[in-house]
Structure 1
Amino acid sequence: MSWLQAIVLGLVQGLTEFLPISSSGHIRIVSTLFFGNDAGASFTAVIQLGTEVAVLIYFAKDIGNFIGAWFKGLFSKAARASENYRMAWYVIIGSIPISVLGYLFKDEIRSSLRNLWITATMLIVFGLLLGLADQFASHVRDKLQLKDAVGMGLAQAMALIPGVSRSGGTLTAGLFLGLDRAAAARYSFLLALPAVFGAGIFSIPDVLERAEPNAASVPQMIVATIISFAVGYATIAWLLRYVSKHSYSAFVWYRLLLGIVLMGLLSMGLINPT
């Protein structure tokens, strides 16, 4: 991997991780379209650590409250009635599907599911689903319930397929379940922490061994991760302000256009799907 590719993909990761447009899909597309190769699932998983550190810092106070309430709730019945205690459990419960499925299908995630035909299809299908949820769901609740944690957790697991979008899947499920845009986005950010950190840490040995073709060097990986952190932090702040006043329609149209263009390029043989 060249230094230019590492820097560009760090920027792409930071810009797209929290937007409902699929960061892994964009890394896959940009790698192939502009650099002629696939950066690999391990590279993608590790540089996502940068964006999740951004979440940790941005929501540090909330996360500290959740962790404190969870430990207090282990020993105090009164503490279990708090909203922070329930949120901590919702994050844990919502993280189970992607953790289990990510482990069971890790080989497919690193190989066959990275086919660009699949990426293009998922961009379109889940873009349409996001559009339906955004336009027709009720968006009336700002408090999470257990059903939201389960539903959004299952949706997050779908993002193991590039093109689905972890944030897009969870936001779509949250909106269909009746959450307002801001509440769904906030939980989506928090829900990513266990799964993405786990996947990133799990993939570090592969990166160090340079087990994948076109593997990045350790310095390249560090720089790409730092860039994804800085850009990702700014993206969180922007998206939370944006969704409080706007719909997701711009992202829906972007996904549809990108998916159609990608299918056109694949059909004409201009890029290799694998």
Structure 2
Amino acid sequence: MDDTTLTAILLGIVEGLTEFLPVSSTGHLILATEALGYDAERWAVFNIAIQPGAILAVVVLYWRTFWDAFIGLFTWDPKAVAFVRNLLVAFTPAVVLGLAFGDEIEMLLENATVVAWALIVGGFAILAVEHFANPGREHVGVAALSLKQSALVGAVQCLAMVPGVSRSGATIMGALCLGVDRKTAAEFSFFLALPTLTGATVLQLWKHGDGIGANGVGWSEIALGFVVSFVVALAVIKAFVAYVSRHGFKPFAWYRIVIGAAALAWLTLR
């Protein structure tokens, strides 16, 4: 196995492990390229292109939810309409800011120090939310959320445009602060990933897709990373929902703080 293939597998594992956990998949991919000596620019498009693998895992695991919503739209079922409405409302702020500040956001992706600080600050933010928030105890489902709750969660998601913040962490913690139960908060974050990450992937491939294959990282490596991230994400999502429904998010907060501090120390001393 050559180095390029091994790198594709390792980055696929990192993407699948971290995309839906509140630890920042983008941040981990950036730190992985730094720590393991990969050329970050060479793998930048690859890191974006394999995200649909993790997204597909959500579709597979929650296919019944999406199918019911799709069919329900034809009969204008209130629950299906509310489900789709909430996702679209929460998705809108990321579209607006992403199109307005896309170049500035891409510049941050080159800064591993920003990632380290974001991991640390985000870890303490999660601890604060866990201590002060009062989430609901009954699983209500995404369709039961109000327009205001959906819009606010969407606004909070925009914080994840800073690498290391974590899209899933921002949306889940935002939902908990609004009184949403842990399971619904996690599921809303998963479902919101579909339009958000798909849109980001399409935009980045449209802008930088002509570079695929030019630096030795082509469609075969992307396909491999896609499959690896899909398989890993399948296992992670189910385990994550079961865990946080019972135990909460504090372990992820402490993990962020430790990894962020270690990364910051290493980046400073190297």
Deviation at 1:124, TM superposition (A): 1.3
Tell me, yes or no, if the aligned pair for 2:117 and 2:260 is still in contact at 8 Å. yes
Pick closer, same or farther for the CA change 1:217–1:115 going to 2, 3 Å: same
Pick closer, same or farther for the CA change 1:133–1:219 going to 2, 3 Å: same
Mean CA deviation greater in 35-44 or 137-146: 35-44
Pick closer, same or farther for the CA change 1:178–1:24 going to 2, 3 Å: same
Deviations along 1:11-54, whole A, 9 cap, x unmatched? 00000011100000000001111034215543222111000011
Which residue of structure 1 aligns with residue 195 of structure 2? 194
Pick closer, same or farther for the CA change 1:212–1:96 going to 2, 3 Å: farther
Which residue of structure 2 aligns with residue 119 of structure 1? 115
SS of 1:159's equivalent? helix
Q: Tell me the amino acid that sits aligned with residue 210 of structure 2.
A: E
Match 2:19 to one of 17, 20, 25: 17
Q: Tell me the amino acid that sits aligned with residue 67 of structure 1.
A: F
Unaligned runs of 5+ in 2: none
Which residue of structure 2 aligns with residue 76 of structure 1? none
CA–CA distance in structure 2, aligned partners of residues 198 and 9 of structure 1: 21
Structure 1 length-normalised TM: 0.89
Deviation at 1:213, TM superposition (A): 8.8
Pick closer, same or farther for the CA change 1:258–1:214 going to 2, 3 Å: farther
Tell me, yes or no, if the aligned pair for 1:46 and 1:199 is still in contact at 8 Å. no
Does the alignment pair 1:63 with 2:59? Answer: no
Structure 2 length-normalised TM: 0.90
Deviations along 1:146-197, whole A, 9 cap, x unmatched? 2221111112222122101010000110111111111100111001101111
Does the alignment pair 1:168 with 2:164? Answer: no
Deviations along 1:68-113, whole A, 9 cap, x unmatched? 333433xxxxx3xx22221110001111111222222222222234
Which residue of structure 1 aligns with residue 131 of structure 2? 135
Deviation at 1:244, TM superposition (A): 1.5
Which residue of structure 1 aligns with residue 102 of structure 2? 106
CA–CA distance in structure 1, aligned partners of residues 210 and 108 of structure 2: 22
Q: Tell me the amino acid that sits aligned with residue 22 of structure 1.
A: S
Pick closer, same or farther for the CA change 1:213–1:164 going to 2, 3 Å: farther
Pick closer, same or farther for the CA change 1:105–1:119 going to 2, 3 Å: same
CA–CA distance in structure 2, aligned partners of residues 134 and 9 of structure 1: 30
SS of 1:164's equivalent? coil
Which residue of structure 1 aligns with residue 46 of structure 2? 43
CA–CA distance in structure 1, aligned partners of residues 243 and 236 of structure 2: 10
SS of 2:36's equivalent? helix
CA–CA distance in structure 2, aligned partners of residues 135 and 6 of structure 1: 39
Which residue of structure 1 aligns with residue 30 of structure 2? 28
Unaligned runs of 5+ in 1: 74-78
Which residue of structure 1 aligns with residue 181 of structure 2? 180
Tell me, yes or no, if the aligned pair for 1:207 and 1:215 is still in contact at 8 Å. no
SS of 2:130's equivalent? helix
Which residue of structure 1 aligns with residue 253 of structure 2? 252
Which residue of structure 2 aligns with residue 265 of structure 1? 266
Pick closer, same or farther for the CA change 1:113–1:30 going to 2, 3 Å: closer
CA–CA distance in structure 2, aligned partners of residues 199 and 92 of structure 1: 15
Structure 1 runs, 4 residues or longer, greater than 6 Å off? none
CA–CA distance in structure 2, aligned partners of residues 212 and 166 of structure 1: 29
The CA RMSD over aligned residues, in Å, is 2.0
Which residue of structure 1 aligns with residue 219 of structure 2? 218
Give 1:63-82 correspondences, 5 Å limit: 63-73=66-76, 79=77, 82=78
CA–CA distance in structure 2, aligned partners of residues 48 and 166 of structure 1: 13
Deviation at 1:215, TM superposition (A): 6.4
Identity %: 33
CA–CA distance in structure 1, aligned partners of residues 39 and 75 of structure 2: 49
Q: Tell me the amino acid that sits aligned with residue 37 of structure 1.
A: D
